[in-house]
Structure 1
């Protein structure tokens, strides 16, 4: 009897903490209360955002990150069932030269074939990143993050052959490519202490000019095989490094090859996601980078290729380390980054990433050890299976559903938001029915681990609102704005509503797909 009681206690603990039994998928909640919130709103709750799967969504404002399978830091089969319910129609993926070619000239594409086909079955497109190097070739480049590029003649020829084989194999299935990942992360030059030609080649490879030549040779192969392919170059981690970007672009210009590139991709991991658009050491760095890129080609666009946030403190390496992150602050961070990218007209912006990663620090050395990079919407256990669905998963799911409509930003909208802190806000209009959506949040600080709100006065002209609601994107909860908090004078309307450091919406109720909520569901 005692053993049975103990077993029941253990099972109850697992159920209450949303923890899976190993090898079993967790059930994705569709409950109107699927995201916990302690927010206090002075309006009546009437509905909840209804999630949309990839079989229902049509918009492609964002991309979900499905990286690191190439190095076995994540396992695709462990998280694939969680992709469709999120609603993303596009995923960023890493091709893994070293995983595919473990013996010279012999390719094993089985692992990636299955993923490409599975993604297609889920109504998802792939943005495929070509990386990293391959240690079976002398001078073949590094195998992991911050790695040096291939430099030897043998390795470069092998790279060319692998790229050609990849693009030929997946022509018609993959239409978007990216070349390498974060080449500026760690300067290889710092490791050079002599003038040996091989060492100097390694130093030059990760220079902007060396990277440009490597990207150029790769882009030419892609376009020769698939002229309709779209290519992202650079994949820089520090957007404020304008000199690096310019030297890179200059090489393409001198070779009359700027038309090979569709995007210049960049990453970014500021502690305050809103700093990405105005700070990071350079005032208005996004604006300056955009102007620089446009000065070389008006058709070349910036694309945010990787950006995310951990969900807990013990992340001691990589971006945003050594900070007291929580599931709540991670969820807020993702929402603010998604809304910030959209508000700054950055297409196909990435949400990094679907699943926590199990990294090897100082891989291949006697000091190597395993650590968990908790950037995922899903929490991984020690064997890389899904242990928990995080708060951020459902919050991001809410955004994908709410913004699954043909929206355009109203750049000249006459809308003002006044509160104790400066409030970031954008106005969108549905191109088909003219319905408007106001999104706003307090972006002055790093997301806080609290639900504290402040009062805001929102004024807008020609909104067209007839049944306005206030929506918390974090929880997906929809509240009817009371008549005492909504005033109309002529073509101008004023709302007295709460705001906080996570995005909220004002829009008409029928603008967004919702499911009715009743108090008895609490």
Structure 2
């Protein structure tokens, strides 16, 4: 495995305090705007990383190349049964929440290896690999089992610790395994991270990609817990989808990211059918690759949305077999296309209800007349096999003239009944850009005119998590922080307008020339998953809260004391009417800091009995003190609300699950 050299922003703090990183430890507030690395790539093999110290005497802890890979990590090697080996780093003492991520691996299942968040009194939160093959943590003094672990396998661990309540949550590979865990020792602040192999055991362990960030909350607002993630099966139905594109070209690996799909909570997944991958020899179909994906996604509770797209080089005139590819054109290729489409629908019509015809034809330079004829040809084949199929036309960049021409031609041919809707791809660095939704409104009006009953869906959109990424918006500087903010703002914007919306993509995509880092999951260069990015957990919060049990309130009446533009999107529970109202600073491209300002908000037509504050990015839920809100009739006033360029909700407590 080759790891990506990247510039994560997770060392930026709300209050201008820097939490220690693997490369260096500093208390300098002025350093908070610098770039930091959370890995050991730049540490020479055999050296103790700067800012870390080794103790215990039972062995050593140094940066080393991981055997069988070109990956470098911090290796703990304990050779003594009478002494431990411990390595640690310190950071400025903080009473704010500490969100820590790291990867952990052991060379055996017969030694106890622990990673600890420490305070002045010792270990407060521990995640450990036991000498009997179990992953575990603690709830106070009680050991809590987190499942079995295997030797020589990396585990992606996230620990969120809250000194204000002396509690913590633990996630493993994107799944919350434990919550509301009491600290092991009494502490009101945290100041260090330690890893070690126990005194009685010998063994080798590896730690990598340590990421530590503090997250402050309004002073005196009690922490209640975090949003409970829900799987796709638990959610059941929503307007939230996730992209799993390019599997047909091998740019991602379903076996690697598949286990994370259901954990995310999105209830639909966009896939590409892959004519060229399925029919590598004319007339011979190999469906095994797609069967595995469709069946596993369905097993996890996701509804596949299958795109019929891209050509096949096995045929002369077979069209382009990748992004920007042309339509098949020769008689032989078109006959091959027809046969493949018919076979695909016949095979999957009991498992797939939604289809899409081609990918971004306008960006590929395909004339709208050609695309219209091709759409009719393909959609007719789909409906012949599956009369109730939902079929989307496609275009990118919200090209209203292209869509209008397509719809006009479709109507003139008397084939508007073949269209269930249009899917658009609105890449824009500002997720609140009014132009985007003005164009969406135009598309909706066109659909209503030419294909009544059809819908407009956001089918592919995302931003990178690092600069220099492949694809749309890759020329701008992005980090994992700004990615998570951007995704949240777009999702809440779309869902607040009752638009079905998809996150592009579940995993980083490995194009031939460069990585497209729009994934919610960080990858190694062999496409295996390295860790879940902050955006993965942020989307989990959205999926858990904004499902089909809530409805958007598009005409919600509100006002604010803020001198900067705000976006407000309101929702209500369908059964009780209790509300969830999101607000954020509509400040263009998201910033690289989490500094909050204070604003007062007034909601007319509100419905709350016990309002709480929810930060979708962190998942944290805090009580809103009684002196910060008041109600007169159905007008609610909230004062001193923390505001920044990422969505925060004022939600009735009955509408959330911790």
Tell me if TM exceeds 0.5. yes
In the TM superposition, what are the counterparts of 1:78-157 in structure 2 within 5 Å?
78-157=256-335
Is the CA contact (8 Å cut-off) linking 1:415 and 1:458 kept in structure 2? yes
Is the CA contact (8 Å cut-off) linking 2:579 and 2:606 kept in structure 1? yes
Distance of 2:267 and 2:508 partners within structure 1:
20
1:393 and 2:536 are equivalent in the alignment? yes
CA RMSD of aligned residues (A): 2.2
Structure 2 equivalent of residue 10 of structure 1: 75
Question: Could you say which structure has the higher helix fraction?
Answer: 1
Is the CA contact (8 Å cut-off) linking 1:415 and 1:459 kept in structure 2? yes
The offset of 1:249, in angstroms, is: 1.0
In the TM superposition, what are the counterparts of 1:341-490 in structure 2 within 5 Å?
341-347=494-500, 349-360=501-512, 370-490=513-633
Match of 1:267 among 389, 408, 425: 425
Distance of 1:20 and 1:379 partners within structure 2:
16
Distance of 1:397 and 1:70 partners within structure 2:
26
1:177 and 2:329 are equivalent in the alignment? no
Deviates more, 1:21-30 or 1:68-77: 21-30
Distance of 1:252 and 1:419 partners within structure 2:
47
Distance of 2:273 and 2:578 partners within structure 1:
41
1:255 and 2:407 are equivalent in the alignment? no
The offset of 1:491, in angstroms, is: 3.3
Structure 2 equivalent of residue 323 of structure 1: 476
1:54 and 2:232 are equivalent in the alignment? yes
Structure number with greater Rg is 2
Question: Could you say which structure has the higher strand fraction?
Answer: 2
Distance of 1:447 and 1:213 partners within structure 2:
41
Aligned length: 477
Structure 2 equivalent of residue 202 of structure 1: none
The offset of 1:40, in angstroms, is: 4.2
Is the CA contact (8 Å cut-off) linking 2:508 and 2:515 kept in structure 1? yes
CA gap 1:3/1:179 in 2 versus in 1, 3 angstroms: farther
The offset of 1:160, in angstroms, is: 0.4
Structure 1 equivalent of residue 462 of structure 2: 308
1:77 and 2:255 are equivalent in the alignment? yes
**Helix, strand or coil: the match of 1:56?**
helix
The offset of 1:25, in angstroms, is: 5.5
Q: Deviations over 1:202-224 (max 9, x none)?
A: xxxx1011111101100000000
The offset of 1:462, in angstroms, is: 4.1
Unpaired segments of 5 or more residues in structure 1?
188-205, 361-369, 515-522
Q: Deviations over 1:101-158 (max 9, x none)?
A: 1011111001111111111211211000011110111111101111111111111110
Distance of 2:444 and 2:605 partners within structure 1:
31
Match of 1:41 among 209, 214, 218: 218
1:232 and 2:392 are equivalent in the alignment? yes
Structure 2 equivalent of residue 520 of structure 1: none
Distance of 2:226 and 2:101 partners within structure 1:
23
CA gap 1:427/1:17 in 2 versus in 1, 3 angstroms: closer
Is the CA contact (8 Å cut-off) linking 1:379 and 1:389 kept in structure 2? yes
Deviates more, 1:131-140 or 1:2-11: 2-11
Distance of 1:183 and 1:20 partners within structure 2:
44
TM-score calculated relative to the size of structure 2: 0.69
CA gap 1:464/1:346 in 2 versus in 1, 3 angstroms: closer
Match of 1:340 among 473, 482, 493: 493
If asked which structure has higher relative contact order (CA below 8 Å, sep 6+), I would say 1
Distance of 2:569 and 2:525 partners within structure 1:
41
Structure 2 equivalent of residue 219 of structure 1: 379
Is the CA contact (8 Å cut-off) linking 1:424 and 1:443 kept in structure 2? yes
Deviates more, 1:373-382 or 1:441-450: 441-450
TM-score calculated relative to the size of structure 1: 0.87
Is the CA contact (8 Å cut-off) linking 1:35 and 1:394 kept in structure 2? no
**Helix, strand or coil: the match of 1:273?**
coil
**Helix, strand or coil: the match of 1:306?**
coil
Is the CA contact (8 Å cut-off) linking 1:419 and 1:456 kept in structure 2? yes
Q: Deviations over 1:23-52 (max 9, x none)?
A: 655323526699955344232222211111
Structure 2 equivalent of residue 365 of structure 1: none
Distance of 2:503 and 2:311 partners within structure 1:
25
Distance of 2:212 and 2:295 partners within structure 1:
32
CA gap 1:374/1:411 in 2 versus in 1, 3 angstroms: closer
The offset of 1:303, in angstroms, is: 0.8
**Helix, strand or coil: the match of 2:649?**
strand
CA gap 1:247/1:458 in 2 versus in 1, 3 angstroms: same
Unpaired segments of 5 or more residues in structure 2?
1-56, 65-72, 77-86, 89-99, 106-151, 157-171, 181-210
Distance of 1:314 and 1:83 partners within structure 2:
26
Is the CA contact (8 Å cut-off) linking 1:312 and 1:327 kept in structure 2? yes
